[in-house]
Structures are given as structure tokens and as C-alpha cells.
A and B are shown apart, each in its own frame.
Chain A
Amino acid sequence: MHHKRRLWALLFALMLVLAACGGGEVDTGDDDGGDDDAGQASGPIDVAAVWTGGEQENFEAVLDAFTEETGVETTYRPTGDDVGAFLGTQIEGGSPPDVAMLPQAGLLRDLAGEGSLTPAGEDVQAAMAEHFSPDWTELGSVDGELYGVYFKAANKSTWWYNTAVFEQAGVEPPTTWDEMLEAAGTVNASGTPFVSIGGGDGWTLTDWFENIYIQTAGPEMYDQLATHEIPWTDESVIEALEVFAQLVGDEANIAGGTAGALQTDFPTSVQQVFANPPEAATVYEGDFVAGVITGETNAAEGDYDFFNFPQVGDAGAAVVGGGDVAVALSDEPGAQELLAFLATPEAAEVWASAGGFTSPNQSLDTSVYPDDLTRRSAEAVAGADTFRFDLSDLQPAQFGGTVGKGLFLRFQDFLQNPDDPQAAAQALERDAKRAF
């Protein structure tokens, strides 16, 4: 009897081992979906994005406009903060959403490389050619093949300030880096630290670095750094870090000092500028700061404004931005229809008129933006001499997008020790080597 029990146990275990070793293929959904262009409404589609709350309502309004026009039903699913993790598990499980909005271009590249994305069809390509500049089409493509439509853009070169504090200090918004350092000294002397840095959230520090780097090193080197053609120990990186140290090396400039900045997350850093009394005069981040100001502080219109990130060198105005790209993860024809719709100015108008949204769509009439500030920042994105995508979003997730690792971690370490750019650069290069 003992033999029989052991035999059963052995068979059971063997069965499981065979199942484990055999079942490891990544299932990318059905590969034989045919095109349904017979004019009838395609099946319902699942759309996933990171937006919740007010942004979710606005995006669902866009989806409703889509359903009205094409008759395709949509369901919206929020992904939670970690889009990569959410999609990864869904894809492994064989049931990914039909369309997903990716906030990081690196994620687009990773997923396209894995074969989890369906390339954009002809309708989508035509729409992109008609309404977007070639830069955006390029951003949505991997190895020459178009996968995604950039629906929402963010201007990450806007520096927001509390107008009352600037008035009291008698300071005008600076246009160059040296002017900014001078203004910082004056504002500090007036009793309010100049800038609030959300160092607790590492991604804010990467945005600082990118804006400085694109101005000191230029767009070509920026592209080379993004693809790791030049190492992070390059002279240009050290130079940019030294410029950054000019601001953060003097703790008087930062609200709470370096230690305070490292414990402050992004929303708190914005709240500090508009607290009563203000704990800082300015905060730098993207145009989505406006959303945080109106949603989470008591600042009224006119209390806040922004100036463009000050010029460091003589290279001319450069804008670093980000965006959310819509990609198709299944072969549902409805997914392609949604991508084509999102490329049209009508789709952009639905959200743009509601506020808190910038579209890279060149055919969009900028008068639909509800206020001047959004319009200015949108026009800066659309009309920049040099526009580049947020570098940290272009990196593989383990280097550019994970809390406590890679770029996030090393820039936080640099904020702690701004006197040692060499060490920071070397640590960055070590992490980058492992990722690429």
C-alpha cells in the first residue's frame, strides 16, 4: 500500500512538472483576427489607462464621443499607478485590454519588442500623417513601424510660481539660468525659499536633469544619451549635473533644505508653494501642475503663473515633454477604429475644452483651451524649436521608471550630495549598462 501511495504522489508531481515546463509560452491573443470592414459596428472593446477621478471622467467623455460616431461600445478600466505591471500580468494571462494608454515610451518599445502590440492600420497611419508632425509619428513607432497614437501631451518645461511672493520680493520671472539664480537669492532674502523640489518622487528630479541637459548639450546629444549611445559618464552629463548643483547645492534655495526635499512628494511640493503662508516661491514640473493647483490647493486664478524653463546656454528654447500613447493590444477592429478616432482633432477637442489636457494634434484649434495658461503651454509644445520626449520615459522600465532604482534612485542620491557629480554619473552608468 505504501508503494501505491508513493506511486500516486510521484505521478502527481510528474504531471505538474510537465505542465510547468511546457506551459511557458507568452500568449499574445488570437493571431488570426481578420479585418472587419463590412460597415457594421465592431465588437465592444476594453480600454485601459492610468486616469482616475476627474481625468477619468474626461477620458470617458472622449470614449462616448467615439461610440457616438462609430457605434463601437467601450468599457474603461483604470490600471493603477503601475501600468507596466498591470499590462504585464494581463498579457501573461492572455486577456489584455484591447486598447491601452501608455504613459512611457519605453514601455511602448518593450511591449512592441515582445510582440504584444498590434501595429497601427492604414486608417490610423493616414490620420497621423494628416494631423501630427513627423516627430510624433516617429515617437509612436518602433523600428519604423507605427504602433501608437499620441493622444495627450505634457509640457515638462514649465516652471510655476506664486505671483504674490514674486511681487513682494520684487522679482520678475527669469528667462535665463543666471537670472534665475539671482532671482533665487532675492526671493530667499525676502523670506521665502525659492523652490520646492519633490525629491521624494524620483521622477521629478529626472525632469529637472532633462531640461538642463537638453539645453547644455543640445538635442543631438540628448538623443544619443536616450539610446545609451553615449555613456552617462560623458562630460556633458557631468556639466549638466554641475549646473543643477548651482541651484540645489545651496540649501537656502530649497524649501525644507535637501533633507526636506527628499521627503517631499510631488503633490506636497506644489501645495507648499500655495500654502498660507507659502513655504516656497516656485515649483518646477510639467503643465499638469495646474491640475494639482486647482484641485488640491486654495490658489485662485491669478495667484499662479508659469515661466518657461530658463535658458542655460545659447541653444535656443527647448521643450521637454511627455505624452500618453494609445496602443492596440488585440486584433479587435474596434481597437484600430479607436486609434484612428483619437488621432482626430474632434477627439482632442472633447477633453481639451474641459481643461487639464494638452494635445499634440496640430489640427486642433487652440482657442478651445479653457484658459490662457493651458493655451500657452500647449502652444509651447506644438511650436517648440526643439522638442524632445522625456528621457526617463524613453528608458527601459528598470532604469527609467522604477521607484528606488536606476534614474530615480541615483538622482535622489545626487540631490543628497550635489558636490559629487562624478560619483552620480558613475552610478548612473553602472545601472544603465545593466539595463541596456
Chain B
Amino acid sequence: MASTAADVRPGVGPRAKMEIQRPPGAAKRWLALLFLLPALFLLGAIVVYPTIDTIAQSFQHDTSRAWVGLANYERAAQADTIITALKNNAVWVLSAPAIITSLGLMFAILTERVKYSTAIKIIVFMPMAISFLATGVIWRLMYEPSPSQGLINAAIAKVVDVTGGAGAYPTATVLPDGAATQEPSGAVTLNEPIQAGETALLGLTAIGETDVPEDAVQASQPEVSGNSLGIVVWRDFKPGGGEPGVVEEGELGLPGAQVEVLDSSGAVVASGTTEADGSVVLDDLEGGPFTPRVAAATFSQGFTGIRWLAADLVTPAIIAAFCWMWGGFALVVIGAGLAALPRDVLEAARVDGANEWQTFRYVTLPLLGPVLGVVFVTMVINVLKIFDIIFMAPGASQDEANVIAVEMVRTAFTSRQYGVGSVIAVLIFALVIPIMFLNIRRFRRQET
């Protein structure tokens, strides 16, 4: 590099030809700088300057930009929304990269030498083609709580309802201070036991007009005698309320309700189902007194759907959506790593008598180490900055789903607290730097 002007005289010495091609050292450096200047300028203006400005602003007042020292840091330390956000980020960092790397590894191994491996890779990779927001919208629809709308709950409903779906009148209840009470199991039991030869009136409310079966007719009390017990189950409602507990004109019976009669020890001695007018007569009852009730099964709601986006499940739910999206990335990278493994090492292992699992664990996995490291670190960096997908959570769960990047935008731009927002930005910066160092060190090591 220490060439001087004296060396550039053409036609001098055996290395003259080469020296003519090389421009003088100083000019070469200026030329290089000139070419680099536009890129340096952009980098400075878009990356370096805003970073320094933000760090400066974290020590300044929100709007007046007067220096306030560590006041913003104190405010940030006390804000519980920031602490929730940090906790959530910790959950994300501890779970998402590990899950994605494992998923990618699993898929890569499984599709390694399968016939349609490219097709499978394309399908698993496709979610990468859409934006985070589109992923959020798709998964929001899948997570809908109602089994008739949400895909996941519909799938679960198919499985769960095989063991018994919704009862005849899932929404029904009773009026307070009435003749019957609804127990925690849902069963509606008469308060006062009755003797054989009497009729029990068990009126139900909170049943919509359209929910009453078509074959229902005006409720009426049955004829009972001797050892029989009559039970009437009917929709105890008239416009305006009507008189509760009395079977009135215009109130329809509820067919298909399962009824049971308990004796004084609590054992079920008879059961039946109501007719079109809501009545049923149960015969051959010995002794007494009896307590009739409408069975709990009538009120079973079936599978109403898990609320995936409620506060307690929202972070795992969003992490699942994120893994769906990035699993393909891990698959492709690890797949490439697998394809690049030297075949003779694997052959040697097999010749030595190792089975598939041992080959995987002692040969493949260590050789894949660097690739897995790349995927893992990339995902950690991505996850620390997670932002768009959080907005798929409904408003009430936003606090539990909050992450540090969303918190920064809300604090700085919506709440207009630029100082505290800058503190959060500095925090994110500080969290990502060590990981970037690791990455760069690894790149450098690979280059040498």
C-alpha cells in the first residue's frame, strides 16, 4: 500500500506493466470514499442520526426537548404496562425461536428424502409470503370462539360433541324466587318435595320464541292419579312477563326435556321425556315424598368454544400464529443445511451399526449445529422486534398481549410522550445489540 508517485513511471523495470494498471495509492482511497459516500450518507441519515437523536431525546422532555436527565427513565420504570410488555417479550424470546427451530428441524428431517419434498416445502413456506398483518387477520378468524365461525373451535367441536352435544334448551334458566331453583350443574329442581298424585310445575325462562321446537303446543297440566307423578315443563313467559309459575294461555310447553324424579335419599327413581305440551306422567312410584327435576343434560351447552384470544391465552395464541408463519423459513434453511451434509460421514455411521436415532443424535445434529444457530439467532432478533401481529388481539386483551415495540409506538405517538417512548426505543436497542454482536462474531469466524 505504501506505493509512492515514484513507482508509477511507465516503462521502468520488470514490473512496469503491472504498475501502469494500478492507480496511485492516495487517489485510490479517495475514489473508494467517493463511491461509498452515497451509501454512507443514507446510512447516516436514516440509521445513525435517528439513533443518536432518539438516545438524546430519552433524556429530554416530551415536547419542549429540554434536558431532564433520568426523569423519563424513572417514569418508564414505574409504568406497569411497560413491565407487562417486557414480560411478554421474555415469553416470546424463550418460546418462539425454540419452537420454530424445532419445527423446522422436524420438517426438514421428515421431508429429506421423501418423493414430493419440494411440494411440501413450498406449502410449509407459503405463509412467509404474506405480511404479518394478513397472518393476524387469518388467525383472528380461525380463533373465533363460536364453533360455527372459528375453524379451530369447529374442529374441536366435531371431536368433543361426539360424546354429547348441546341439550334441548341450553340457554334456559328459572326466575329467582320461583318454585324451582337451578343448580350449578344446570338441573332445575323443585324446591318443595311433592307426593304421588300431584303435579310439579317447572317453568323455564330465557328461551327465545324461535328456540321452542315447532311441534310444541300450549302447555297443559296432565291428569294424574294414585302412584303417578305429573311434571309440566313449559316456557314460563308472556309479553310483559306474565305471572311466573302459572301456566297461562299463550305459554308453550317444552317437548323433549328430560325429567327425573328423586326420592328423599336423592336416588333417581323414575325418568322420562316431556311431550308436545310439556307434560309427562311418571307411573309406579312407591312411597314419597319425591323431588322432580329437569335433568342437567337438557341444559348442556355442548362445546361453546375456547376463547383463544382471551387474556390468559392470547400470547400463546399469537405465538402459534407466528410459528406458523416462520416455520417455513426454518425448514428451508435447515433443509439446505441437511442437503449439504457430507454423505460419507452418515454412511460411516451406518456401517458402524448406528440406528436412525443414534445417527441423528450423534452425527446429524452436531453437524447441523451452525445452521441451527443461524436460524435460532435470526428468530431471536425477529422476535425482539415483534410488532404487527400483536394487533390481531382484541382490545380487551391488548394489555396482556403487549410487547415492547407496540408499547413504544403507543407511548410515543398515541400518548404523545416522546421522552418515555425514546426510553423504550433505547431499551430495545440495548436488548438487540448483544445478539447482533454474537451474529457478527459468528460471521467473522466463518469467513476466516
A residues engaging B (CB < 8 A)? 1, 4, 8, 12-13, 16-17, 19-21, 23-26, 82, 84-85, 88-89, 110, 114, 167-171, 185-186, 188-192, 199-202, 252, 259-260, 262-263, 265, 277, 396-398, 401-405, 408-409, 412, 434
The minimal Cβ–Cβ distance linking A110 to chain B, given in whole angstroms, is 6
Picked from A260, A397, A409, the residue with its CB within 8 Å of the CB of B415 is A397
Query: A26-B65, A190-B208, A409-B399 are contacts. A85–B394 as well, Cβ < 8 Å?
Result: no
Contact present for A20 and B413 (CB under 8 Å): no
Chain B residues numbered 30-47 whose CB sits less than 8 Å from any CB in chain A? 33, 40, 44
Contact present for B240 and A259 (CB under 8 Å): no
B residues engaging A (CB < 8 A)? 1, 29, 33, 40, 44, 48-49, 52-53, 56-57, 60, 63, 65, 75, 78-79, 81, 145, 171, 173, 175, 205-211, 236-241, 307, 309-310, 394-399, 402, 409-411, 413-417
Picked from A89, A110, A186, the residue with its CB within 8 Å of the CB of B413 is A89
Query: A12-B40, A84-B416 are contacts. A189–B396 as well, Cβ < 8 Å?
Result: no
Query: A88-B413, A88-B416 are contacts. A202–B208 as well, Cβ < 8 Å?
Result: no
Q: 14 interchain pairs (CB within 8 A)?
A: A168-B209, A170-B241, A171-B240, A189-B236, A189-B237, A191-B205, A199-B396, A252-B173, A259-B307, A277-B210, A397-B415, A398-B416, A402-B410, A412-B395
Q: Report A-chain residues with C-beta under 8 Å of the C-beta of B399.
A: 404-405, 409
Q: Report A-chain residues with C-beta under 8 Å of the C-beta of B396.
A: 199-200, 202, 262-263, 412
Contact present for B413 and A263 (CB under 8 Å): no
The minimal Cβ–Cβ distance linking B188 to chain A, given in whole angstroms, is 14
Contact present for B209 and A85 (CB under 8 Å): no
Contact present for A252 and B394 (CB under 8 Å): no
Q: Report B-chain residues with C-beta under 8 Å of the C-beta of A409.
A: 81, 399
Q: Report A-chain residues with C-beta under 8 Å of the C-beta of B395.
A: 199-202, 265, 403-404, 408, 412
The minimal Cβ–Cβ distance linking B448 to chain A, given in whole angstroms, is 20
Contact present for A1 and B1 (CB under 8 Å): yes
Contact present for A16 and B52 (CB under 8 Å): yes
Q: Report A-chain residues with C-beta under 8 Å of the C-beta of B397.
A: 262-263
Contact present for B49 and A82 (CB under 8 Å): no
Contact present for B206 and A189 (CB under 8 Å): yes
Picked from B40, B145, B175, the residue with its CB within 8 Å of the CB of A263 is B145
Q: Report A-chain residues with C-beta under 8 Å of the C-beta of B309.
A: 263
Q: Report A-chain residues with C-beta under 8 Å of the C-beta of B33.
A: 8
Q: A170-B241, A409-B399 are in contact. List 18 more A-B contacts (CB 8 A).
A: A12-B40, A12-B44, A20-B56, A24-B65, A82-B414, A110-B416, A189-B241, A190-B208, A190-B209, A190-B237, A191-B237, A199-B396, A263-B145, A398-B417, A402-B415, A403-B398, A405-B410, A409-B81
Cα A12 to Cα B49 in complex, Å, equals 11
Cα A199 to Cα B310 in complex, Å, equals 12
* Residue of B60, B240, B415 with most partner-chain A CB within 10 A: B415
Query: A12-B40, A188-B206 are contacts. A85–B307 as well, Cβ < 8 Å?
Result: no
The minimal Cβ–Cβ distance linking A280 to chain B, given in whole angstroms, is 12
**The 7 A-B residue pairs with the shortest CB-CB distance in the complex, in nearest-first order:** A170-B239, A191-B208, A398-B415, A170-B240, A404-B398, A85-B413, A189-B205
Query: A16-B49, A19-B49, A434-B75 are contacts. A252–B415 as well, Cβ < 8 Å?
Result: no
* Residue of A25, A188, A260, A398 with most partner-chain B CB within 10 A: A398
Picked from A24, A252, A262, the residue with its CB within 8 Å of the CB of B310 is A262
The minimal Cβ–Cβ distance linking B87 to chain A, given in whole angstroms, is 14
Contact present for B394 and A263 (CB under 8 Å): yes
Contact present for B79 and A434 (CB under 8 Å): yes
Q: Report A-chain residues with C-beta under 8 Å of the C-beta of B241.
A: 170, 185-186, 189
Picked from A171, A192, A199, A434, the residue with its CB within 8 Å of the CB of B208 is A192
The minimal Cβ–Cβ distance linking B26 to chain A, given in whole angstroms, is 10
The minimal Cβ–Cβ distance linking B415 to chain A, given in whole angstroms, is 3
Contact present for A16 and B410 (CB under 8 Å): no
Q: Which residue of B lies closest to A86 (CB)?
A: B413
Q: Report B-chain residues with C-beta under 8 Å of the C-beta of A82.
A: 413-414
Q: Report B-chain residues with C-beta under 8 Å of the C-beta of A84.
A: 413-414, 416
Q: Which residue of B lies closest to A85 (CB)?
A: B413
Cα A412 to Cα B409 in complex, Å, equals 21
Query: A189-B206, A189-B241, A409-B399 are contacts. A397–B52 as well, Cβ < 8 Å?
Result: no
The minimal Cβ–Cβ distance linking B186 to chain A, given in whole angstroms, is 14
Cα A404 to Cα B311 in complex, Å, equals 12
Contact present for B239 and A114 (CB under 8 Å): no
Contact present for A16 and B307 (CB under 8 Å): no
Picked from B79, B240, B414, the residue with its CB within 8 Å of the CB of A402 is B414
Contact present for B175 and A398 (CB under 8 Å): no
Picked from B65, B239, B414, the residue with its CB within 8 Å of the CB of A169 is B239
Query: A188-B205, A398-B416, A409-B399 are contacts. A25–B65 as well, Cβ < 8 Å?
Result: yes
Cα A17 to Cα B240 in complex, Å, equals 75
Contact present for A20 and B65 (CB under 8 Å): no
Contact present for B209 and A20 (CB under 8 Å): no
The minimal Cβ–Cβ distance linking B212 to chain A, given in whole angstroms, is 9
Cα A199 to Cα B145 in complex, Å, equals 16
Q: Report B-chain residues with C-beta under 8 Å of the C-beta of A170.
A: 238-241
